[in-house]
Structure 1
């Protein structure tokens, strides 16, 4: 058995399945296949062929080609990743997906269509033991790595990983509140395109302004989620979103009122200290003259841009932080699955053996 960063024993290998092989589905798969403590054994998507799955997995416009791996479809039920076989399923009803037959312990729900707890719980009927929703959920327990993952309990069968914006905002808020106390705040996220936005004007059930050759004013779930993740912040942070026509990498622009009268330099130093300490790999800090594309492929959840912020006086500060809304979030999903596996009271259903520590 290998050991994680916390020194705890890691079950080897944790077997996962993915429902929905879109942007997040493919990137979670990429992250999982880079690790030695997790195994992707099955993918369910009734709307795309195995050949197309393999092609889209290998070639990614934003994150590049997977040149180090030999990826191809063996047949309609299997694709191969450097000799590792992944079962391909095509069920439309969640309760009918035979996860148990493939030995899947954790299902990553990536379709965006089943965000309610009872909806995602349909995966359990097919033999899955746990379900992770990649997005905001109104009623499932919600977690952000670096903020409240210690609140996870093994009896939770369906959990939410919130949104990528929430994963950027909450570590920053946690540090500021722990160090100085946050009275209130207003956040705007300038967010790259998602699967919701369309290239050309067309009917949209979500927003009449979804033609992506625009800057689109929108809503964000991040400020709804933060009160559940950090209860002391409930009702203290408001926010909105702008969708912009870039493929990946986003930012948050946050104005805070702090309890303590401190300088902007003290605020930056506190964040830098945590970025190099307890939140290393999750929180980042930069003083470079950077732009959004510089953060594509960055696996951290939140990178403070120290040069872009300022003090507004009287305890008010304006901060900006970058994040790769795809790659960073996908890393947190996989890391939380490992955390869930560690927390199981009866982990005997996981296959274990001696292995080197995962990078």
Structure 2
């Protein structure tokens, strides 16, 4: 399956690295789209990363392409429509988070067989009748052969963590309401030093502050658990670390339980271990630098208050693990096509 990658920012870069290093031959990277069309710069940024280190496979460049030993050249475009016209991809993986690129993809000729995977639940995509949210490891059966829609949404790192956790607990303990606070690592959307941005708090230096931030997880959680619509609320706080986030949840449950029962529930889940796990060691964020799981429950955090309130926390690498899910979904689309 031929793949065009849109956006070589933090997520796009990690998706590209994953494509270059994976053993699965089903995905063939045939093009990339970036508004800054500079192959020399992006070959450098693919080879070296301040957080994840040096790439194990060398990327070179020509005047208009990225080149990888043993692979075909990957042309770099600054025009999305032109990239699709010249490469005829089977799948466009959009990691840009751009409303404009989503609008372009939605407007393209619908007689094409090209499918589109978005790394963000943009409203313009969610409104399309031929779009569907895919939380890998949870609703994979909805995307079997001949069921894959034209537009697929990977709904974000926090949703990829919360939805498996809620799914697991809800099976045995029936959550009635709850709340969460996510301590989230900084991203490129925040300034390094104070700079006028979209809101007062977002204008403050990311490396010097804890920054309360808005979030949009509740709508998609309710999409998977309609009975919890309006009964879950959450907050996020951006913290000055380069990677990995930590969400703490407080759930009210219908059936009385205890700490051991909750732990057994979480460790005996049928959710695939590449997506969900439980760690019972006292680990910290740096221990999850290259952890590819969407949700890793902190087993030391589990508490039950008065038999009906469950407190539980989980780690998620909001960059690396999320990029892994993008490639997992792309691989499954390839196998189902």
The TM-score normalised by the length of structure 2 is: 0.90
Contact 1:32/1:38, CA 8 A, preserved across alignment: yes
After superposing the two structures, state which structure 1 stretch, 41-50 or 163-172, moved more.
41-50
* Alignment counterpart, residue 31 of structure 2, candidates 8, 30, 42: 42
**In 1: Cα distance, 2:312 partner to 2:100 partner:** 31
**In 2: Cα distance, 1:108 partner to 1:82 partner:** 23
Alpha-carbon spacing, 1:266–1:194, altered in 2? closer, same or farther (3 Å): same
Matched, 1:110 2:101: no
Matched, 1:199 2:186: no
**In 2: Cα distance, 1:123 partner to 1:300 partner:** 34
Matched, 1:149 2:173: no
Match of 1:33 in 2: 20
Matched, 1:52 2:41: yes
* Alignment counterpart, residue 235 of structure 2, candidates 237, 240, 247: 240
Alpha-carbon spacing, 1:235–1:149, altered in 2? closer, same or farther (3 Å): farther
Match of 2:248 in 1: 253
Matched, 1:91 2:86: no
**CA shift digits 1:6-39 (9 cap, x unpaired):** xxxxxxxx22111111111111111122222322
Match of 2:301 in 1: 308
**In 1: Cα distance, 2:114 partner to 2:286 partner:** 38
Alpha-carbon spacing, 1:119–1:103, altered in 2? closer, same or farther (3 Å): closer
Match of 1:179 in 2: 172
Please give the root-mean-square deviation of Cα atoms over the aligned residues, in Å. 2.1
Contact 2:31/2:77, CA 8 A, preserved across alignment: no
**In 1: Cα distance, 2:219 partner to 2:31 partner:** 33
1:253-272 → structure 2 map (5 Å cutoff): 253-272=248-267
- Please state how far the C-alpha of 1:231 moved relative to its aligned partner: 2.9
- Please state how far the C-alpha of 1:206 moved relative to its aligned partner: 4.9
The TM-score normalised by the length of structure 1 is: 0.84
SS of the residue 2:49 aligns to: coil
* Alignment counterpart, residue 159 of structure 1, candidates 152, 156, 181: 152
Contact 2:296/2:314, CA 8 A, preserved across alignment: yes
Alpha-carbon spacing, 1:188–1:124, altered in 2? closer, same or farther (3 Å): farther
* Alignment counterpart, residue 223 of structure 1, candidates 189, 213, 218: 218
Alpha-carbon spacing, 1:126–1:49, altered in 2? closer, same or farther (3 Å): farther
After superposing the two structures, state which structure 1 stretch, 131-140 or 114-123, moved more.
114-123
Match of 2:320 in 1: 327
Q: Which structure 2 residue ranges, 5 or more long, are not aligned?
A: none
Alpha-carbon spacing, 1:160–1:90, altered in 2? closer, same or farther (3 Å): same
* Alignment counterpart, residue 101 of structure 1, candidates 86, 89, 99: 86
- Please state how far the C-alpha of 1:311 moved relative to its aligned partner: 1.4
**In 1: Cα distance, 2:52 partner to 2:110 partner:** 35
- Please state how far the C-alpha of 1:232 moved relative to its aligned partner: 3.4
**In 1: Cα distance, 2:153 partner to 2:251 partner:** 27
- Please state how far the C-alpha of 1:128 moved relative to its aligned partner: 6.8
Alpha-carbon spacing, 1:265–1:248, altered in 2? closer, same or farther (3 Å): same
Contact 1:99/1:126, CA 8 A, preserved across alignment: no
* Alignment counterpart, residue 71 of structure 1, candidates 41, 44, 59: 59
Alpha-carbon spacing, 1:127–1:42, altered in 2? closer, same or farther (3 Å): farther
- Please state how far the C-alpha of 1:118 moved relative to its aligned partner: 4.4
Alpha-carbon spacing, 1:342–1:230, altered in 2? closer, same or farther (3 Å): farther
**In 1: Cα distance, 2:165 partner to 2:135 partner:** 12
**In 2: Cα distance, 1:253 partner to 1:31 partner:** 29
Contact 1:219/1:241, CA 8 A, preserved across alignment: yes
Q: Which structure 1 residue ranges, 5 or more long, are not aligned?
A: 1-13, 348-359
* Alignment counterpart, residue 278 of structure 2, candidates 272, 285, 296: 285
